[in-house]
Amino acid sequence: MSVLEVRNVWKSFGDNTVLKGVDLTLNEHDVVVLIGASGSGKSTLLRTINLIERIDDGQLILSGDDISEPSVNADKVRSRIGVVFQQFNLFPHMRVIDNVTLAARKVHGENAASARERAVTLLEKFGLGEKVHDYPDRLSGGQQQRVAIVRAILTNPELLLLDEITSALDPMLVGEVLDLVKGLKDSGSTILMATHEMNFAREVADRVVFMHGGRIVEAGSPEQIFDAPVREETREFLARVGRH
């Protein structure tokens, strides 16, 4: 069974049709990277999967469950998906450990001691062992973003959605966040991410998906998309970002 199936998904904002029949399947352990110009619909697609935006037509299937049914419990669906967006959204008044364990404790009902133990192990693994008891404003942007990722994975989500998680970072700090994502890939996470970091897309993606005007125009291995793009729109985009 696939982890995620996006079937002919349509989404408009007023008369602006932003997703025009998107089809996409992620199997377990797939790392799929969305690329495309600003406004092509990458974030909107990620937001529809997390039910922040409801789709107009089509279907979203998460591990066999139709999550696009109007009657679905959105909070329940979100508890199965880990999400990290561009802006660090840690709670400023909570220490790192409490930020990271909040969902495990409050949403999944895990007892505090066990959640803390797992959180500390993960924070140490990702070089944040010294920061466990700090408040977010004492951390660099890269450290905050790594904490946000640890928070997203602590509950073992079926699917991880990452939207431009490095684009608000000082270039010096991008590498440490991307290394963490590589670590997640190696440990078998299923990841759908949007990025403007083409080098990273090439390095980490099992499949690169190029979006243009709300459609998936071309998808394939990093080699196919970056070295031998077939569609004119893909070539133009890659030329513009200096990749082809």
Ligand X SMILES: Nc1ncnc2c1ncn2[C@@H]1O[C@H](COP(=O)(O)OP(=O)(O)OP(=O)(O)O)[C@@H](O)[C@H]1O
Q: Which residues bind Mg ion (CB under 5 A)?
A: 42-43
Please identify, among the stretches 34-42, 109-117, 169-177, 179-187, the one whose residues bind ligand X according to the rule CB under 6 A. Answer: 34-42
* Residues 6+ away with beta carbon under 8 Å from 160: 81, 82, 83, 84, 152, 153, 184, 189, 190, 191, 192, 193
38 binds ligand X per the rule CB under 6 A? yes
Q: Are strands 31-35 and 191-194 parallel, antiparallel or unpaired?
A: parallel
H helices of 154-206, where?
171-186, 198-204
Binding mask 141-180 for ligand X (x = CB under 6 A): -----------------------x----------------
Beta bridge partners of 5: 25, 61
- The rounded distance, in Å, linking the Cα atoms of 179 and 5 is 27
User: 13 contacts which partner out of Mg ion, ligand X, none, CB within 5 to 8 A by kind?
Assistant: ligand X
- Nearest distance from C-beta of residue 129 to ligand X, angstroms: 33
User: 18 contacts which partner out of ligand X, Mg ion, none, CB within 5 to 8 A by kind?
Assistant: ligand X
Residues in the interface with ligand X (CB under 6 A) total: 12
In order, the DSSP letters of 53-117 are S--SEEEEEETTEETTSTTS-HHHHHTTEEEE-SS----TTS-HHHHHHHHHHHTS---HHHHHH
> Which of these, 78, 224, 207, 216, lies nearest to 152 by C-alpha position?
78
Binding mask 4-33 for ligand X (x = CB under 6 A): ---------x--x-x---------------
Q: Are 198 and 5 in contact (CB under 8 A)?
A: no
- Nearest distance from C-beta of residue 38 to Mg ion, angstroms: 7
Nearer to ligand X, 46 or 150 (CB): 46
Restricting to residues 39-98, which ones interact with ligand X according to CB under 6 A?
Answer: 39-44
Nearer to ligand X, 173 or 194 (CB): 194
- Nearest distance from C-beta of residue 164 to Mg ion, angstroms: 6
Residues near ligand X, by CB under 6 A: 13, 16, 18, 36, 38-44, 164
